[in-house]
Structures are given as C-alpha cells and as structure tokens.
C-alpha cells in the first residue's frame, strides 16, 4: 500500500502525503449568542502550484490567480448566505480553508474572510480554524527518509514510515488507505500497469498494523482514518460526522444547510470552475451550481453513514433531531442490525453509549446519553459492507 | 413464430425412430443471425400497410383456372448460408411475384427492416404464377422462414410438398444439414432436385460437390443445375425442371374438403393466420369448418394466397396452398398437422404431426424477485407464439420463484433468453440445462425428470428404482479429414461411440456417433467448431434412451445445498466437474463478511472443497463534507445490489455470481 497522511498542526511532505498542513489560528473573540446547533464553514481555494498524483480534488494549476476577485467572491458568498437564511449571529463551530492549496492565498484574503465571518457570525474563543498547506523546505528533511522507502511498500516499510510520521506528528494524524481515483495521474499509471494494487488481505494487514502502532504512540482512533491523543480532535471533521450544518464557500464546495424556518435540509454545490464561479458571484452574489432540498431519507442516511464511521457511532438523539417521524431503531432494518450485533460487528446501546477515552469530542457528550448504534473495531473495518445492509 | 412443435414421424423409413430435435450447427457461433424468429407482428404491420396502399385490389386472381395438374408444391432445403433465401428471391422475381420496380423495392425495404432487427428474412409460403410451354402454372414455394433452425420446420414444409430443391454450396459442399434435410425429404417420398449454387465463386468446386451428391445421396446428377442465385446464372432453368420433375398434387376437387394446417402465426389485428394445404375439395370464405384435433368450429372470414403478402382470393381448391383466417384467438388453437373439414362432412384426418418434445430444460428466474410478475407476462407473451416452449412454475430456495422451461435445444433456449432480454427488457438467470432423464421403477413404471430436484434420493434409489436412463442421440458430423483426429477425441471425451464413418470424397468425411444428449447441450457445438477451425458441421437425431450410471451432484455453500446449482451427471464426470465447479464458484462469489466454504458432493461424499476467507476490510478511507454526496450515490447502488442478493444461510450470493457461473462457462465436461 502506498499511503498518505495528513499531519494536523504539523508537517507533511508534498511528495509523500496526501495533503496537508493544518494550522490553528488564534480564534477571534466575540460576544456569544448561543443557537442550538453550531455551524461550520468550509472555504475552498482551488489553486495549486503543481499537481499531486493522487489528487482528484477541484484544483487548478495557476501560478497567478486573481486574488482580489477570489477574495471578493468568497466574501460575497458568505454574506449572501447570511442574508438569505437570516443566520446572522449563528455560532461557528469551525472554519476550514481547504483546497487546492489555501496556503497560497494572500494573508490579507484570510484576514478579510475571517473578519467577515466574525462580523456576521459568532466566533467563540475555541472555534477551530484550519488551513491546509503543503510542506515547505525546512521540514522536508525530516521526511526524506520516509520518501526513500516508499516504492513498492511492504508491511514492514509501512511500519517504519508510520513510525517516522508519528515521531514528528503532534497530537493528531489522519492516515488514509490510498484510494486510486479516476482521472488522477496515479490512476493513469495504475491503468498502464505501472504498479499493482495490494491484495485485500494485504490492505487489511496494513490497516491492523496502523491501529497497533498508533495505539503504541498513545493515539486513539476515533474515526476510520483519524487518530488523536490528548483530546486533540479535528473539530471541523468531527462536525461533519456528527451531522452539523456546513456552509461550503468557493468553487466546487459542498454545503448542508437546514433552513431554520421550515427545518428542511438543503444540499448546495458551488460551480466547479473558478472563472465561472467568480463570474456568477460577481453577478448574483453567490456561485451555486446546485441548490436542492434533500429528502428526509437522504438526510437520515447521511447521518447513519457518517456516524457509523466513528467509534462513538450514531446516537439516537442526533438521529431524532433530523428525523421527526422515526426513532433510529424504527428506521433501521433491525433484523439485519441484530444479525450484525450477534456476529460481533455492531453494538446497540440502550443507555449512554459506552466509549473509551478519546472517542468523543466534549461538545457532543450530551447527545450520547440516550443510546445508539456503534460499530465494533471489527465492524468499523468493514462498515461499507454493513451500512447498505441495515438500511431498507 | 418459428418454434411450433412439429415432429414428423409418419412415414419415416430410413431411420425408424427419427426424432430430430435441433439442427443448427453453425448458428450457435454465428450470433449475427440471431434471433432466428420471424417477428410476425412486425411483418404483419408492414403487410397491412402494403395492403391498404397498393397492389392487393389490383390482383384479381381466379384460382379456379388452376386445377391440380397445373400446380406444383415445392420447397428449397439447404444447409445454412448455402443461398436458399437468395434463390427464393430470384424465383419470386423471375415469376414477377416481386417485380424489379417499385414493389420490389418495398419488399426489399421490408426485408431490410427485418434484417436490422436481426431477423432472418424469407417469405414463408409464397404462390407464384409461371407460364411454361403455353400453360399457366401455380407454383407454391413452401419455404420455412429463412434459416432452417429446427428440424420440425423442415418436416412441416415438406409435408405439404411433392418435391424439393436440394441446394448445395459449390465451395462448401455437403454439410450436416444437407444430409439431414435430404433424408427427411427422401423419407417423405419427395422428388429431390439437386442444385449446385454459388458456381461463380473463385473457390467453387462444382465437380467435387457433384461427386459428393452422387456418392452420398445416389441422386441422378446427369443434368444437375449449376447456378448462382446471387448473380442469376442458371436460375431460369430451375422452374422448368420443377414443373417437369415434380408431380402435381394428387387431390380431388370433387371430394369433401380435407385441409391440412402446416403453419400459423399470430397477428395482432386478425388473430391467428393459418397456412393450409387443400388436399381435397374446396374451401371458401364463409365456410364453416371443424378441426379434427379439437373438434372446434370456425368460420372462414378471409382466405387467399401469399403473393407474396396475403392476397384475398375468397377460395382455395384441391392442390392449392394459402392462408386461412378463421377467428382463432390464440396460437395454440392452430394445431400444426391438424386436418380441417366442412362441419357436415367429416373426413379421415391426415396422420398429422406429433408435437416436438422439449429436450432441454432449465430454470428461469428473475434477477430481482420484484420482477416476477412482469417476467411472467413476458414469458406468456413469448409462448403465445411459440408453443414448443413448455412452461411450469418452479420455486428455488436459492433463486426464488421462477419457471422450469422446456426447449427444443440449446439454441432455442438461447434465442428465448435473448428475446426475453431484448424485447422484454428482462433480467434473468437461467440455470444449467438438464435433459430429461428417465427413472425406471421396479414395478415397471417409469418417470421422466426434468429437474435435478426430482432426482430420487438414496432411499428411493435403493428401494424402488431399478435403473436410470438418459437420452442419447445420433450425431452426424461432416468435416475435412484433417480434423478427424481432434473431433474423434472430442466425441470420445463426450462419451460418444462411433457408429460409422464414410469418405464422401477424397478429403471429406461423414462420421456418425452415438452420444448422450446431455453431452451435446453443454458447449458441444462451440467445441466442435473451435476444434475444426469452423469446418465441421453437425446435426443430430433422437435415438431414445439408454441405461446410464448417473448421479446427482449437489453444490453446498457453508453446508447448505444450493438447489439451483444441483446437476445430474454421469458418474465418470463427477470428479472432474465437481472440482471445476467448486473452483469456478470460488472465483465468482465475492468475499463476504463471513468465511465461505464451497463443496460439491454426491450423496454424502464430498468431491471438492474451496474456501473463501472472510473479508477483513472494506471501508472508504476519506469521507468529509464533499465526499458524502458521492458516497450516498454509491450507497443507493449498493442498496439496489443488495436486493439482487440471494441468501444461502448468512452468505449472500449476488445474482451476478449465479449469472457468471451459469453463463460464462456452460460446459460441464471440458476436458483436461
């Protein structure tokens, strides 16, 4: 397996790792006005200096993007949203600058965007603000040895590579099984037969080793590919899995927004191409390509799909929040659920969901009190097999 | 429409027990020619258009001017692609039945439409008017639709003829179907006129083919016609020969009506259209007639000749052949081989045909159980016009509700499947074909079983069964001598016993083998073709049953038998097939959340075992805000796919696994 990892608050090699560096910026202090559900903001910067072989994100190699137009368009989308949905004063759970390579945006762009967010919403002191980045020269040295062993990766190679990464990681690491996506240079090489995919058994071995080694370094897996120690979660990502609404800003960004008036959840996807998106923002204030009501079944399925990727699972309370008509156990095919429980893939909790230290972000502790469904370690590893079978 | 049951057993002399099931050597490979059914719905609608727009009213035909002595009823028989359709076209042109101008174009257009639909073209029965030696003749070309795929079609058309043209390709020479067709005609006592076709091809070897005809059929070849139907060379000599050599029908116009039904199809507008030969008497519009078979009464609402489409004449008399519409509602009412007479004048019915027996049975199941009712309707529609298909409901624990369908042969099965898939948009699984085995009980009774499920269990075997029998056939294989070795090996490996072989000329050999039918229905054609570089042709005839050491092999998945995969096999095949199936299944069944153990077993004895280890990891690596939309789409697909899973215990078998297993390798006894 060729793997890639994301080093939160740390470094990652452009060559070696998927992406990217996240940097916590100082949260801006603000008056607080609590709404029940905090909101997340994702901001997409679509430009890169060069192409990574595995990347199928919405990105463009453009050394000289029009920073001013980009900035104005991003800001206009934020404002448009606030105005349309009457969301002024919502609490912000997290802000995430993704890409592309958002670290290539000008500092003034970040400043303007964050100021806009601070003015329109409430940014509590502990709001997580993340920016993806690519490794710069001074930490590449420490990664050179990892690079050297990467070709034709074996289980032993991965052990060494992972240990090296963990040595330089701080308190959070994301470790992904490399997925060969259509349209990437990597995919083309694969089609040409330049390398082979590892066997299913080999992939399973790598995954198990990853769990063992991270554990030895004091990390706890709290989602399929995310590990933390000292309670340093990725708040933003945790928010996705917990069903928080997120505002997607920028070309190709996705969002999920619940209209406070009618409680209907919307799926919003921005226009893909930066030029088209900017042009639309300049003309109409926002650049949505798709704006659609989600049917209730999709909303529920997303919650289950996301929830069961985390060790804490899907709490009944969270499900009920989006499902006025059904409890979790009424929605799921319990005959199948019970089979998977019997065979050691799932656990049903009637009372507070039992959890190990490091499975759950403090903000979400309330919702696990009325029980729910969670995967076992064995179940989590095959959850893609299980989810379609427990849904009707 | 093609597959109505016909079995001609009336005057067979040459082979006393001939029951020919299927003759189609080269079609199996030549998929372009399929489906082989004429789509009459299509044809009829075009005919309607023709009738309303043009010629019909112009044709005032007085059939009373054609007494039996001025009538010739003949057919053309040939191996596939030897040029039968082209010759028929030329004859229609020559007699002005289809002219070389506007009307001709229309006909050709019509044919093109059908060709586009993959349907083989030719007119069924067609009446032609021809002047010869100052006398007007009514020539009825009684042709089976296009390719002669199923032997009973040939029998049917021959029954209404007094003579036939045996058409042989001058490069390919005599092929297996040529032989089979010749003997059918010969046994009918028909006059056989050999004709050598395609003489203008550079590869033509007419002298060699003439020698073959002489030595194989002992026919007089002194003035044999050498033609090219395509370019028209020599075609003008055909009809004079037909008139001179073939005797006129022997009917008597003054006797009570005796009409012989030998073809029919279903027309959405008028119901069943029958093609009848008037043996004696006369039949006209308004006549009340009765079926000797069903004793049902009908009134003739339209009657006429095919020229080339339906042309009303209001009348047919002894010796003539034409269509009769008499308000039959369903195709089954038109019992092929039936005799019709005037209600008040019953006559001795003609011997008729014995319906063709289904010789290959398979379970047919919807891939999605929700499709059962829709598929049931589709199957009903298809069988409406194809009475040779026998249908029975069947329930499989593995595949759910379905049908056990009997076919005339594997090609018939293939065509049926293709029509279901293409015309009815059906997704189906067809189990491995089974031939009808015979169980002989100690008390002297016997039973045919068409499904491995019916195979007697060990108690029954011990206490009641005296022996088991399987159907056998006689295969006629014609091939260049270079391939004799490999084809003899093939036949040997298929438990074949050589009966005889003859050199037809210096390099072509005709071999006869006695082979169990079960060996023929599993990929035999394909292997024969591949081992002879396509040069061998093949035909077969039923030879009844023989005692056989057969057993039932079960496939078990985690110890549970999968009924749909059970098979009846000869003891000698068990070890090999058992191993092959277990291996093949282990390749088509995807990894599961649980370990899968595949076993093949006869009774309690395990033949082979394969294991698929449990899946340990299947989880998407990345799933964040934008990924979930894609993931949801995938989820919907997975949920759909799950519906198509069949549960065996806690093991899910996707329909695709069944499909791959049952379709991609249909050989039970591939060697080595």
Q: How many CB atoms lie within 10 A of CB B30?
A: 15
Low-confidence stretches of chain B (pLDDT < 70) are: 1-59, 99-124, 143-157, 353-356, 384-387, 644, 663-672
For residue B637, give the chain A residue with the closest CA.
A388
State whether A111 and A220 are in the same domain: yes
Residue that finishes a domain, picked among A262, A294, A326? A294
| Closest to B187 (Cα-Cα) out of B14, B383, B38 | B14
In a domain, A284, yes or no: yes
State whether A335 and A273 are in the same domain: no
Specify the pLDDT at position A262. Answer: 78
Q: How many CB atoms lie within 10 A of CB A50?
A: 9
Nearest CA distance, B158 vs chain A (angstrom): 59
Q: How far apart are CA B208 and CA A316, in angstroms?
A: 87
Q: Which of A208, A343, A381 sits opposite B619 (nearest CB)?
A: A381
State whether A255 and A110 are in the same domain: yes
What is the architecture, at CATH level 2, of domain B551-664? Answer: 2-Layer Sandwich (3.30)
Looking at the 3D structure of chain A, how many domains does it have? 2
Specify the pLDDT at position B561. Answer: 92
State whether A99 and A145 are in the same domain: yes
With cut-offs at 50, 70 and 90, classify the pLDDT of residue A362.
Answer: confident
Distance (Å) of CA B199 to CA A109, A380, B211: 86, 74, 15
State whether A228 and A347 are in the same domain: no
Strand partners, B72: B139
What is the architecture, at CATH level 2, of domain B437-548? Answer: 2-Layer Sandwich (3.30)
Helix axes B176-187, B206-217, angle to 10 degrees: 40
User: B641 vs A388: CB contact, 8 Å cut-off?
Assistant: yes
B355 labeled part of a ligand binding site = no
In a domain, A304, yes or no: no
Specify the pLDDT at position A164. Answer: 87
- Coil, strand or helix at B440: strand
B400 labeled part of a ligand binding site = no
A383: pLDDT strictly greater than 50: yes
A29 touching chain B per CB within 8 A = no
* Region A284-296 average pLDDT: 93
User: What residues in A contact B630, CB-CB < 8 Å?
Assistant: none
Specify the pLDDT at position A17. Answer: 31
Q: How far apart are CA B499 and CA B502, in angstroms?
A: 11
Q: How far apart are CA B382 and CA B376, in angstroms?
A: 10
Q: Tens of pLDDT along A83-140?
A: 887 788 889 999 999 988 898 899 999 999 999 999 999 998 889 999 887 766 445 5
In a domain, A307, yes or no: no
State whether A277 and A209 are in the same domain: yes
State whether A343 and A263 are in the same domain: no
Specify the pLDDT at position A152. Answer: 62
In a domain, A300, yes or no: no
Specify the pLDDT at position B29. Answer: 24
The number of CA neighbours under 13 Å toward the Cβ of B373 is: 1
- Coil, strand or helix at B175: coil
User: A339 vs B591: CB contact, 8 Å cut-off?
Assistant: no
A204: pLDDT strictly greater than 80: yes
- Coil, strand or helix at A237: helix
CA B148, distance to chain mean position in Å, is 8
Specify the pLDDT at position B664. Answer: 59
3-class SS string, B522-566:
CCHHHHHHHHCCCCCEEEEEEEEEEECCEEEEEEEECCEECHHHC
From-to residues of CATH 3.30.70.870 in chain B: 360-430
Residue that finishes a domain, picked among A294, A324, A345? A294
From-to residues of CATH 3.40.50.300 in chain B: 68-97+122-245
Count A/B contacts: CB-CB distance under 8 Å: 96
Pick one of 2.40.340.10, 3.40.50.1480, 3.20.20.150, 2.40.30.10 as the CATH number of B258-342.
Answer: 2.40.30.10
Pick one of 3.30.2130.30, 3.40.50.300, 3.40.50.450, 3.90.550.10 as the CATH number of B68-97+122-245.
Answer: 3.40.50.300
Q: How far apart are CA B313 and CA B305, in angstroms?
A: 7
Name the percent of chain A lying above pLDDT 90. 56
In a domain, A129, yes or no: yes
Q: Which of B619, B631, B639 sits opposite A224 (nearest CB)?
A: B619
Q: Tens of pLDDT along B117-172?
A: 333 333 367 899 999 999 999 999 986 543 333 455 566 667 889 999 999 999 99
In a domain, A106, yes or no: yes
Question: Where is average pLDDT lowest: A7-16, A271-280, B602-611?
Answer: A7-16
Q: Of residues B62 and A306, which shows the higher confidence score?
A: A306
Residue B197, C-beta contacts closer than 8 angstroms, at least 6 positions apart = B78, B82, B83, B87, B167, B168, B169, B170, B227, B228, B229
Q: Of residues A332 and A365, which shows the higher confidence score?
A: A332
User: A305 vs B622: CB contact, 8 Å cut-off?
Assistant: no
Do the Cβ atoms of B378 and B426 come closer than 8 Å? yes
User: What residues in B contact A388, CB-CB < 8 Å?
Assistant: 635, 638-639, 641-642
CA A173, distance to chain mean position in Å, is 13
Distance (Å) of CA B660 to CA A337, B401, B596, B654: 30, 20, 18, 10
> Where do the H-state alpha helices sit in A55-154?
67-85, 107-120, 137-148
Is ipTM beyond 0.95?
no
Domain boundaries, position A101: 1-294
Nearest CA distance, A139 vs chain B (angstrom): 25
User: A339 vs B616: CB contact, 8 Å cut-off?
Assistant: no
What is the architecture, at CATH level 2, of domain B360-430? Answer: 2-Layer Sandwich (3.30)
Do the Cβ atoms of B576 and B505 come closer than 8 Å? no
State whether A317 and A286 are in the same domain: no
State whether A106 and A191 are in the same domain: yes
From-to residues of CATH 2.40.30.10 in chain B: 258-342
With cut-offs at 50, 70 and 90, classify the pLDDT of residue A239.
Answer: very high
Q: How far apart are CA A47 and CA A101, in angstroms?
A: 6
A14: pLDDT strictly greater than 80: no
Distance (Å) of CA A363 to CA A38, A93, A231: 10, 10, 12
State whether A190 and A99 are in the same domain: yes
B198 labeled part of a ligand binding site = yes
Q: Which helix (H) or strand (E) holds B259?
A: strand B258-267
State whether A270 and A184 are in the same domain: yes
Q: Tens of pLDDT along B347-366?
A: 998 877 666 677 889 999 98
Nearest CA distance, B593 vs chain A (angstrom): 8
* Region A138-161 average pLDDT: 64
Q: How far apart are CA B605 and CA A243, in angstroms?
A: 55
Specify the pLDDT at position B356. Answer: 66
User: A253 vs B650: CB contact, 8 Å cut-off?
Assistant: no
Residue that finishes a domain, picked among A294, A326, A360? A294
Chain B residues within 8 Å of chain A (Cβ atoms): 591, 593-594, 613, 615-626, 628-629, 631-632, 635, 638-639, 641-642, 650
Specify the pLDDT at position A261. Answer: 74
A204 touching chain B per CB within 8 A = yes
Residue A341, C-beta contacts closer than 8 angstroms, at least 6 positions apart = A347, A348
State whether A272 and A357 are in the same domain: no
């Amino acid at each position: 397996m060729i793997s890639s990892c994301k080093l939160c608050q740390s470094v990652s090699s452009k060559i070696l790792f998927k992406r990217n560096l996240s940097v916590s910026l100082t949260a801006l202090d603000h008056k607080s006005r609590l709404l029940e559900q905090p909101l997340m903001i994702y901001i997409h910067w679509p430009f890169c200096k060069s192409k990574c072989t595995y990347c199928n994100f919405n990105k463009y190699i453009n050394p000289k993007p029009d920073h001013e137009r980009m900035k104005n368009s991003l800001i206009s989308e934020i404002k448009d949203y606030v105005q349309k949905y009457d969301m002024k004063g919502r609490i912000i759970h997290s802000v995430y600058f993704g890409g592309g390579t958002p670290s290539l945006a000008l500092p003034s762009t970040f400043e303007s965007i964050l100021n806009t967010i601070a003015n329109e919403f409430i940014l509590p002191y502990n709001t997580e603000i993340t920016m993806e980045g690519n490794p710069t020269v001074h930490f590449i040295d420490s990664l050179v040895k990892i690079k050297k062993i990467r070709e034709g990766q074996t289980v032993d190679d991965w052990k060494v590579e992972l240990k090296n990464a963990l040595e330089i990681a701080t308190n959070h690491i994301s470790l992904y099984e490399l997925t060969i996506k259509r349209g990437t240079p990597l995919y083309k090489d694969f089609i040409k037969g330049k390398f082979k995919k590892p066997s299913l058994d080999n992939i399973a071995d790598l995954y198990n080793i990853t769990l063992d080694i991270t554990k030895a370094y004091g990390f706890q897996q709290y989602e399929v590919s995310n590990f933390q120690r000292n309670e340093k979660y990725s708040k933003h990502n945790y928010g996705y899995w917990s069903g928080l609404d997120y505002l997607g800003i920028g070309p190709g960004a996705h969002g999920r927004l619940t209209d406070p008036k009618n409680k209907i959840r919307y799926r919003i996807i921005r226009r893909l191409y930066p030029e088209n998106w900017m042009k639309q923002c300049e003309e109409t204030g926002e650049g949505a390509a798709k704006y659609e009501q989600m049917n209730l079944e999709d909303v529920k399925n997303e919650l289950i799909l996301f929830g069961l990727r985390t060790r804490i699972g899907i709490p009944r309370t969270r499900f009920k929040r989006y499902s006025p008509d059904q409890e979790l156990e009424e929605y799921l095919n319990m005959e199948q659920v019970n089979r998977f429980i019997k065979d050691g893939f799932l656990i049903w909790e009637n009372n507070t969901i039992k959890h190990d230290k490091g499975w759950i972000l403090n903000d979400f502790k309330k919702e696990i009190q009325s029980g729910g469904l969670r995967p076992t370690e064995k179940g989590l590893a095959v959850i893609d097999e299980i989810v379609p079978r427990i849904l009707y | 429409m093609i597959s109505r049951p016909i079995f001609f057993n009336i005057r067979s002399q040459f082979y006393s027990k001939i029951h020919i099931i299927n003759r189609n050597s080269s079609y199996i490979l030549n998929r372009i020619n399929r489906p082989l059914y004429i789509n009459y719905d299509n044809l009829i609608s075009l005919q309607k258009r023709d009738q309303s727009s043009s010629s019909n009213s112009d044709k005032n035909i007085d059939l009373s001017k054609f007494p039996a002595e001025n009538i010739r009823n003949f057919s053309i028989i040939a191996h596939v692609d030897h040029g039968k359709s082209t010759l028929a076209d030329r004859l229609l042109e020559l007699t002005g039945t289809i002219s070389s101008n506007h009307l001709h174009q229309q006909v050709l257009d019509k044919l093109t439409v059908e060709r586009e639909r993959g349907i083989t073209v030719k007119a069924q029965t067609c009446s032609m008017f021809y002047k010869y030696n100052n006398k007007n003749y009514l020539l009825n070309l009684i042709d089976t639709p296009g390719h002669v795929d199923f032997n009973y079609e040939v029998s049917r058309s021959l029954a209404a003829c007094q003579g036939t043209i045996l058409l042989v390709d001058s490069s390919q020479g005599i092929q297996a179907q040529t032989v089979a067709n010749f003997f059918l005609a010969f046994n009918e006592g028909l006059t056989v006129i050999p004709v050598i076709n395609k003489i203008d091809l550079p590869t033509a070897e007419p002298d060699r083919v003439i020698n073959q005809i002489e030595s194989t059929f002992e026919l007089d070849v002194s003035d044999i016609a050498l033609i090219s139907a395509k370019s028209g060379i020599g075609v003008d000599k055909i009809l004079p020969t037909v008139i001179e050599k073939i005797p006129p029908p022997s009917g008597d116009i003054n006797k009570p009506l005796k009409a012989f039904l030998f073809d029919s199809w279903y027309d959405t507008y008028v119901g069943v259209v029958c093609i009848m030969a008037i043996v004696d008497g006369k039949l006209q519009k308004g006549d009340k007639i009765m079926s000797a078979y069903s004793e049902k009464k009908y009134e003739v609402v339209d009657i006429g000749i095919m020229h080339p489409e339906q042309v009303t004449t209001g009348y047919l008399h002894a010796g003539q052949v034409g269509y009769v519409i008499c308000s039959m509602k369903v195709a089954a009412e038109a019992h092929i081989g039936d005799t019709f007479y005037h209600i008040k004048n019953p006559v001795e019915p003609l011997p008729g045909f014995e319906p063709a027996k289904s010789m290959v049975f398979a379970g047919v199941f919807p891939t999605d159980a929700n499709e059962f009712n829709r598929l049931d309707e589709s199957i009903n529609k298809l069988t409406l016009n194809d009475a040779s298909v026998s249908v029975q409901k069947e329930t499989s624990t593995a595949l759910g509700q379905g049908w056990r369908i009997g076919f005339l042969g594997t090609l018939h099965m293939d065509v049926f499947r293709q029509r279901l898939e293409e015309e009815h948009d059906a997704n189906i699984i067809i189990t491995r074909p089974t031939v009808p085995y015979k169980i002989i009980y100690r008390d002297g009774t016997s039973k045919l079983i068409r499904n491995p499920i019916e195979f007697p269990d060990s108690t029954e075997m011990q206490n009641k069964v005296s022996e088991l029998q399987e159907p056998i056939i006689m295969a006629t294989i014609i091939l260049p001598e270079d391939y004799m070795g490999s084809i003899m090996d093939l036949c040997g490996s298929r438990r074949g016993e050589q009966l005889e072989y003859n050199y037809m000329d210096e390099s072509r050999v005709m071999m006869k083998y006695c082979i169990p039918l079960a060996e023929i229905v599993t990929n035999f054609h394909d292997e024969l073709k591949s081992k002879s570089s396509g040069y061998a042709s093949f035909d077969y005839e039923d030879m009844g049953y023989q005692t056989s050491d057969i057993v039932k092999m079960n496939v078990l998945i985690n110890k549970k038998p999968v009924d749909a995969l059970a098979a009846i096999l000869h003891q000698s095949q068990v070890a090999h097939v058992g191993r092959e199936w277990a291996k093949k299944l282990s390749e088509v069944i995807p990894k599961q959340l649980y370990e899968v153990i595949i076993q093949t077993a006869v009774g309690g004895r395990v033949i082979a075992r394969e294991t698929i280890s449990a899946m340990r990891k299947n989880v998407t690596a990345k799933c964040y805000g934008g990924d979930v939309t894609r993931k949801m789409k995938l989820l919907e697909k997975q949920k759909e796919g799950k519906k198509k899973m069949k549960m065996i215990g806690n093991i899910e078998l996707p329909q695709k696994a069944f499909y791959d297993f049952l379709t991609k390798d249909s050989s039970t006894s591939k060697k080595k």
